[in-house]
Amino acid sequence: MEIWINPACSKCASALSLLDEAGATYTVRRYLEEPPTSAELGAVLERLGLEPWDVARLGEEVAGELGLASWERTAGTRGRWIDALVAHPILIQRPIITADDGTAVVGRSAEAVRSVLP
């Protein structure tokens, strides 16, 4: 499994602790330093069953600068959203955990993190 984290994020630290307590094997990806490509983000969104606007952090300063909150949320604008998240990875909700069985979660709660454990 892989977990996308921001080391400064308390939710990420909590998720890592839960994975460690469970003895899970995982790879850490510091997605701010190693942003996903458009294809990677698209694949993760598909696994999550979410759209890019569902994982966008609209409270970030850059979201305000881009006017992200006012962007249309349609199939036709999906690519624009993905491009913005890839260009500004701070906008991606965290932590995101992709499990080896093909499932994925945004691990902001203990329950979500536990849901991907074997």
Question: How are strands ordered across the β-sheet holding 27-30?
Answer: 27-30, 2-5, 96-98, 104-106
Smallest Cα–Cα separation from 52: which of 64, 40, 61? 40
Assign 1 to helix, strand or coil. coil
9 given a catalytic annotation: yes
DSSP single-letter state for residue 52: G
Set 1, 2, 9, 50: catalytic member: 9
Angle between helices 38-48 and 78-87 (to 10 degrees): 120
Question: Would you please indicate which residues are annotated as catalytic (active-site) residues?
Answer: 9
